[in-house]
Amino acid sequence: MFMIKTIFLVFYVLGLMVFLIPLGIIPALFYFLGFRKSMAKVIHFFAQFWALSSIKLSGSRVTVSGLEFVPEKGSVCFISNHCGYMDILLLLAYCKRQFGFIAKKELLYIPFLNFWIYILGGLFIDRRNVRKAIRTINKGVEMIKAGNGMIIFPEGTRSKGRGLLPFHPGSLKLATAAEAPIIPVAIEGSYDVYEKTGRVVSADVKLTFLPPIDTSSLPLEDRKHVLSDRIYAVIKAQLES
């Protein structure tokens, strides 16, 4: 039963991603022609529908709290722990605004997925090439300064049930360089949906947006060290509560 459900959901997630591409190309073209604000909402609507319907089909019970801390517009950077594959789906489905994210370079070569990452405002980073990585980060900073939202997973990889992993040094540079408010995000239970057993099962998942942290008034030294420890502690406390 679980295997049938897993196969069906995999085909649904991939199939809908491909099916929605023609619907995403037209607003993407208008987006690059200058109709950025309205077309960004259309693109986000398609992505949100894809994510929300996929989560519903998994049978997972999702609890969302703290949405009052998410600004409807303006620069913002979300800092989240990263449990499993479902995390991006959760954020696309339940965060009430558009956002992009930094994706590893390898995802650039995955057909269809690369298209959606790109038109949603995502950036591909080559961590092995310092110069290219810096250019990617700088581009992300400019996007945030222009009033967009970005999400960062500072652990650098999925924790896979191991709890909150240490943050990578310099992972918050995107937010601090843009002097954007940071909203910590705690995700619980997403690993249980698929990766824990290798099959899709119904699980209790919790998505919590925490009070924003202002970075514009932080001293330079605090941006490098204290801020990372503070956000880590806030997310960890939520996960352990």
Burial 102-119 (b: 16+ CB within 10 A, else e): bbeeeeeeeeebebbbeb
Tokens of 33: 């022609």
Reported pTM: 0.88
DSSP sequence for 42-81: HHHHHHHHHHHHHHHHHT-EEEEE-GGGS-SSS-EEEEE-
Structural domains of the chain in order of their starting residue, each with its CATH number: 60-240 (3.40.1130.10)
Per-residue pLDDT at 30 exceeds 60: yes
Per-residue pLDDT tens for 80-138? 999 988 999 999 999 988 888 888 888 888 888 888 888 788 898 887 888 888 898 89
